Amino acid sequence: MTYAAAQAARVAFYGAHYVAARVLAREMFAGIERPPHPLPSLSETLAAMRELFAQDWENVERGLYPMPLNIATELRCAMESGRFLMDVPRVVQRRQRKAHDEVRDRAAGLPHYYQQNFHFQTDGYLSDRSAQLYDFQVEALFAGTGDAMRRRAYVPLARFFDETEVDNPVLLDVGSGTGGFLSFVKSVRPQLKTVALDLSEPYLERARKSLSRYANLEFLAAPAEAMPLPDATVDAAVSIFLFHELPPKVREAVAKEIARVLKPGGVFVLADTIQYGDVPEFDGLLDVFPELLHEPYYSSYAKTHLDALFAAAGLKRISSDIAYLTKIATFERPAR
């Protein structure tokens, strides 16, 4: 009952912010063309959300992780409410002007694909202000389900660490952002050696602060397609909501880099948007999302054959799971 009440409160709170953002951005939504696929009904959406939370609670009952309820963390994130609502009109204006390259000057030296305002968000990924607001934006976008979707990426990692006899294993988070997923992992396995890799210095700095109470952490500001890590030095890797923001050629390069740094027998867990056909009733959302918010590589990712992408890098898919709007695919680098 405590879990159900907490999740219901999160959905109500962040869902209200999603609705408020839609009202503030009504001109953005009004200008969207009719998508090729129908949009899901409210009942279909709520049923998928209930299934997500039911599976999350089942994982708690199985002992995979404690009940995800941290009041202090929730309150800190909730305090960004006003900042989020004040930023929505800026996003609307930016979309109206098609202004998605405002960060180019401050992004000198970074890869070209990174020099843009993804989602039309203020400062892109390149400021402390953006890093402070990011987690709230994600939860508002997904109406309070973002954390539950991310947690599902831990399930295959837990299975791997429990079933393999690895001394001092290393987990690499590719595109770690503000460290939300690693904060969860370290709360469950505080002694696990983890490496957070991201292109954004402000986001990594926020991750350092959120993870400051833990040991065995390394932070790397570097592109995923050129990781400053030796070959075969990582036991497991994870990437959450990164691949859909990479151009196709860069995706291929990142897949090869992940395969390179993984040890034989190691696993890679990809948690990213569902793709066309995964949940047919949600295909309309995949049509709308890249048009609504600046996501130049999203449509191509939604049609990418993931098995072929990672097979070309030497990785084989061993499992797949759907968590509401997120697909979790696990790949293995075959042992010698």
- Among 28-32, 58-62, 107-111, 263-267, the minimum mean pLDDT is found in 28-32
Taking only the tens place, the pLDDT of each residue in 40-91 is 999 999 999 999 999 999 999 999 998 887 776 777 777 888 888 888 888 8
Taking only the tens place, the pLDDT of each residue in 216-237 is 999 999 999 999 999 999 999 9
Q: Across all residues in the chain, what is the average pLDDT?
A: 91
With cut-offs at 50, 70 and 90, classify the pLDDT of residue 268.
very high
Cα–Cα distance, 179 to 216 (Å, whole number)? 14
| Residues carrying CATH 3.40.50.150, the chain | 165-332
128-154 exposure pattern, b = at least 16 Cβ within 10 A, e = fewer: eebbebbbbbbbbbbbbbbbbbbbbbb
Cα–Cα distance, 114 to 131 (Å, whole number)? 15
The reported pTM is 0.93
Taking only the tens place, the pLDDT of each residue in 275-295 is 999 999 999 999 988 878 888
CA dihedral sign of residues 126, 201, 249, 237: negative
3-state secondary structure (DSSP) of residue 296: coil
Q: What CATH number belongs to 165-332?
A: 3.40.50.150
With cut-offs at 50, 70 and 90, classify the pLDDT of residue 188.
very high
